[in-house]
Amino acid sequence: KNEVEQSPQNLTAQEGEFITINCSYSVGISALHWLQQHPGGGIVSLFMLSSGKKKHGRLIATINIQEKHSSLHITASHPRDSAVYICAVRSGIQGAQKLVFGQGTRLTINP
Amino acid sequence: DVKVTQSSRYLVKRTGEKVFLECVQDMDHENMFWYRQDPGLGLRLIYFSYDVKMKEKGDIPEGYSVSREKKERFSLILESASTNQTSMYLCASSRQGRRGTQYFGPGTRLLVL
């Protein structure tokens, strides 16, 4: 079993829909990251969370430390949101703080 | 604007060739990382470095080595490329400390024939 599990693996929706991507983890963490990868490969960090909730534009990320679960929500989805969304957890190791990644969720928003 | 660059976007090599992938960051970050990304497996850590001349094995170091002679540059070396090393390779860097965000390069898609 992977230490970080994402669901769903693939998600297709219509423009304007509310999107939720889930991430569950089984290890102790110091922080959780949500990353976005567009076709072509570049990865951008969207959020880093250690508790509660963060909002940036139409994107909202929440984390429940007790349940070891995080969600990424996209409101009023748009075709430009089409990308792979990756959850990653930072383990409590000192030094370089390694990340453990989920397998990613491929999101397609149709116009 | 933060920047992590990788020497090539696409690379085609033959089995047995020695391959160098270079990564350069201009943010004076202490930490640098090499990952490979394969369908269904996600990103997996090959090696990381938390200081010049320091390196640590990640989850899948076999068949790879690294070099960090200068703070801004982290090289991944495939001593004798094999077809199972065909993959997307991503470099990242971060500052020291628990809050450091990792910044990723654009990736190098390597094909080993």
**pLDDT tens-digit map of A5-33:** 999 999 999 999 999 999 999 987 888 99
Which of B100, B104, B107 has its CB closest to that of A97?
Answer: B100
When pLDDT is cut at 50, 70 and 90, the band that residue A98 belongs to is: confident
> Are A41 and B94 inside 8 Å of each other by CB?
no
> Are A96 and B109 inside 8 Å of each other by CB?
no
B77-110 as b/e, with b when 16 or more CB fall inside 10 Å? ebeebeeebbbbbbbbbbeeeeebbbbbbbbbbb
What is the rounded average pLDDT for all residues in chain A?
91
Mean pLDDT comparison of A48-52, B61-65, B97-101, highest-scoring range: B61-65
Q: In terms of pLDDT, which residue wins out, A40 or A4?
A: A4
Which of B43, B106, B107 has its CB closest to that of A101?
Answer: B43
Q: Taking a C-beta distance cutoff of 8 angstroms, is the pair B23, B105 a contact?
A: yes
Quick: pLDDT tens for A28-49.
788 899 999 988 778 999 999 9
User: What are A53's strand-pairing partners?
Assistant: A62
Distance from CA of A75 to the nearest CA of B (A): 25
> Are B94 and A96 inside 8 Å of each other by CB?
yes
Residue A23 touches partner B, C-beta closer than 8 Å: no
* Res A96: pLDDT: 53
3-state secondary structure of B104: strand
Please state the rounded mean pLDDT for residues B81-99: 90
Distance from CA of A6 to the nearest CA of B (A): 11
Please report the number of interchain residue pairs, chain A to chain B, with beta-carbon separation below 8 angstroms.
Answer: 60
pLDDT at residue A1 tops 90 = no
> Are B58 and A98 inside 8 Å of each other by CB?
yes
pLDDT at residue B99 tops 80 = no
> CB neighbours of B70 closer than 8 A, spacing ≥ 6?
B52
Percent of chain B whose pLDDT exceeds 90: 82
> Are B40 and A103 inside 8 Å of each other by CB?
yes
> Are B106 and A42 inside 8 Å of each other by CB?
yes
> CB neighbours of B79 closer than 8 A, spacing ≥ 6?
B18, B63, B64, B65
